[in-house]
């Protein structure tokens, strides 16, 4: 999370706060996955408890570290399967998202050119992670450790006084942590726990969650365009899922296919 924070530029978000709703809408995939898991349990197809359904639901957020953290708290027995599903679908974002994005948008919408509404000052960029962390610590203390690392990484980036550390966090450190994270999750993939019907259910629910999250983000952008003069390109709605930076790259790629000059 520290590495992701150090790679994140909040300038466009601060200049156009409405885009925050795109990320919120993309989280519908989480709730859809929870309901889907409980539905499978209700009809007796695959057995999932409520904590297990909640842990599976976080796959819809397209955030691997969060999926691992939450499943470790709620359903440790499913940690391996959930982690594999989360990271597999994050890697498959270039295959999953484009068909959904194109199906929900017209050629004209994909060619919308967005403009920078205002210039964001350095002070705003520095204050944002500090204020964000304070609000999270007060309102959602359980999420403070994760968001704290994210905000700290972003503060290192924006302060400009620890450029060497910021560069290390963005590159070397995040790569090393990713390797050890993969090894740790791999150690949890015990055959007698992974090769179960539940794993198939998790994989199925995961791809549905990604699809719903992508669609919700795109549709939210279209909804915002109905009541705004400054149009938002609906393609950026798909970047509301937390598959950083792949989702943003996919949005950019699909947009360039419609308008190479955008």
Decide if 205 contacts 78 (C-beta within 8 A). Answer: no
The percentage of residues in the chain with a pLDDT greater than 90, rounded to a whole number, is: 24
Q: What is the pLDDT of residue 134?
A: 95
**What average pLDDT does range 161-183 have in this prediction?**
88
Whether 218 and 237 have beta carbons less than 8 Å apart is answered as: yes
Domain-wise residue ranges, the chain: 2-258
Of 60 and 251, the structure prediction assigns the larger pLDDT to 251
Q: Are 218 and 77 in contact (CB under 8 A)?
A: no
Whether the Cβ atoms of residue 90 and residue 59 lie closer than 8 Å to each other: no
Question: Is residue 262 predicted with pLDDT exceeding 90?
Answer: no
More confident residue, 195 or 4: 4
How many residues in total does the chain contain? 262
Residues 6+ apart with CB under 8 A from 185: 68, 79, 80, 83, 84
Distance CA 64, CA 169 (A): 18
pLDDT of 105 over the 80 cut: yes
pLDDT of 62 > 80? The answer is no
d(CA 16, CA 70): 31
Rounded-to-integer distance, Cα 22 and Cα 90, Å: 18
pLDDT of residue 259: 87
Q: Is residue 111 helix, strand or coil?
A: coil
Reported as a single tens digit per residue, the pLDDT across 199-254 is 888 888 888 888 899 999 999 999 999 888 888 899 999 888 877 778 888 998 99
Residue 126 confidence (pLDDT): 94
State what percent of residues in the chain have pLDDT above 70: 100
Instruction: Pull the structure tokens for residue 128.
Output: 């944002």
Q: Where are the alpha helices (DSSP H) in 9-143?
A: 11-15, 20-26, 28-42, 50-57, 64-74, 79-91, 93-104, 107-110, 122-139
**What tens digit of pLDDT does each residue of 9-57 get?**
898 889 888 888 888 888 888 898 899 889 988 888 888 899 999 888 8
């Amino acid at each position: 999370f520290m590495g992701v924070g150090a790679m994140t530029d909040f300038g466009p978000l601060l200049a156009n706060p409405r885009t925050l709703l795109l990320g919120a809408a993309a989280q519908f995939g989480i709730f859809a996955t929870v309901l889907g898991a409980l539905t499978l349990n209700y009809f007796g197809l695959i057995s999932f408890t409520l904590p297990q359904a909640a842990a599976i639901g976080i796959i819809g957020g397209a955030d691997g570290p969060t999926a691992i953290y939450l499943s470790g708290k709620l359903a440790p027995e499913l940690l391996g399967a959930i982690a594999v599903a989360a990271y597999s679908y994050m890697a498959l974002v270039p295959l999953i998202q484009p068909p959904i994005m194109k199906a929900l948008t017209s050629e004209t919408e994909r060619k919308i050119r967005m403009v920078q509404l205002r210039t964001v000052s350095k002070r705003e960029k520095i204050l944002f992670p500090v204020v964000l962390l304070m609000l999270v610590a007060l309102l959602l203390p359980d999420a403070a450790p994760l968001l704290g690392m994210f905000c700290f990484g972003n503060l290192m980036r924006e302060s400009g006084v620890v450029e060497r550390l910021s560069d290390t966090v963005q590159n070397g450190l995040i790569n090393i942590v990713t390797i050890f994270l993969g090894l740790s999750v791999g150690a949890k993939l015990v055959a007698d726990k992974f090769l179960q019907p539940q794993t198939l259910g998790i994989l199925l629910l995961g791809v549905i969650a990604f699809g719903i999250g992508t669609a919700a983000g795109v549709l939210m952008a279209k909804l915002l365009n109905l009541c705004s003069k400054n149009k938002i390109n609906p393609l950026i709605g798909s970047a509301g899922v937390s598959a950083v930076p792949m989702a943003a790259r996919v949005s950019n790629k699909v947009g360039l296919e419609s308008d190479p000059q955008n």
